[in-house]
Structure 1
Amino acid sequence: MKCPSCHYNGTRVLDSRPVEEGRSIRRRRECEECHYRFTTFEKVEELPLIVVKKDGAREEFSKDKILRGLIKACEKRQVSLKQLEDTVHDIETELRSQGTSEVQSDVVGEMVMERLAAIDEVSYVRFASVYRQFKDINVFIDELKDLIKKERL
């Protein structure tokens, strides 16, 4: 690997350790020429996962987009960022384990809602109101009734 300081093409690895729960490897390197030390990360290159929208448009699966939506839904609630990041990771893992390169957006949305309901009901209702585009208060009330029924089971 080229040294980022002097561009010499020889470096040696001083230390390697797994990070991100074993999904990446952090390597500490040193240039053999100028002795500059730097860090690199090695990660498996995953095939893109494509989300097919309701209108047929396709876009690459975005963990950040889901995380932003979860953060917005959980504003001012007692939900940690780690819980939300773990939720997004679980969703991505489940989608990739299905062995397909494309997934419908409504499948992703329902996965998010299912997990959010288990974390925080208020955040779930906030997310559902945007995701399901509640048109009036009656739709909102119906969603609350469904949530209460599920809770009693």
Structure 2
Amino acid sequence: MARRWTLAIVTATCGVVVLVAQLRAGLPVVGGVEFLIFLVLALLLSPWAFPRSVGAAMAQRASAADGQPIVYWRPGCRYCLHLRFSLGRLARRAHWVDIWHDPAGAAAVRAITGGNETVPTVVLGGQAVVNPDRAWLRERLRPS
């Protein structure tokens, strides 16, 4: 669980260090702005930037029932973050599996990618796509 938050915590801690340094230098406004920038980055690198993750088994059952894709991801992955924000509200329609939180999800990705944990990996209708084209995924998430 802590592994999921490591990058966000380190980023926020760096923000605190920068804030203290700027306060000691007599620059509270600069320190405050820089601290806010670090907090925004920490939020983007945290699991909170993504829709609620489910386990791989639950995602597979749900995907079989509703036909929506499964997106395997991990916190701190810039490609996952880029994919997530390019999807906008449509991201909520997919089933998101955090491979750092779910060992079965990590195993599923390794099986797809030949032993690597390359994310984002999307599975839809038995077809797996590693680092998918955002337009392709958006099209599949749009309501019919």
TM-score normalised by length of structure 1: 0.25
* Structure with max Cα Rg: 1
Q: Which fold has the larger relative contact order, with Cα–Cα distance below 8 Å and residues 6 or more apart in sequence?
A: 2
Higher-strand-fraction structure: 1
Structure 1 or 2: more helix by fraction:
2
What is the TM-score with the length of structure 2 in the denominator? Answer: 0.26
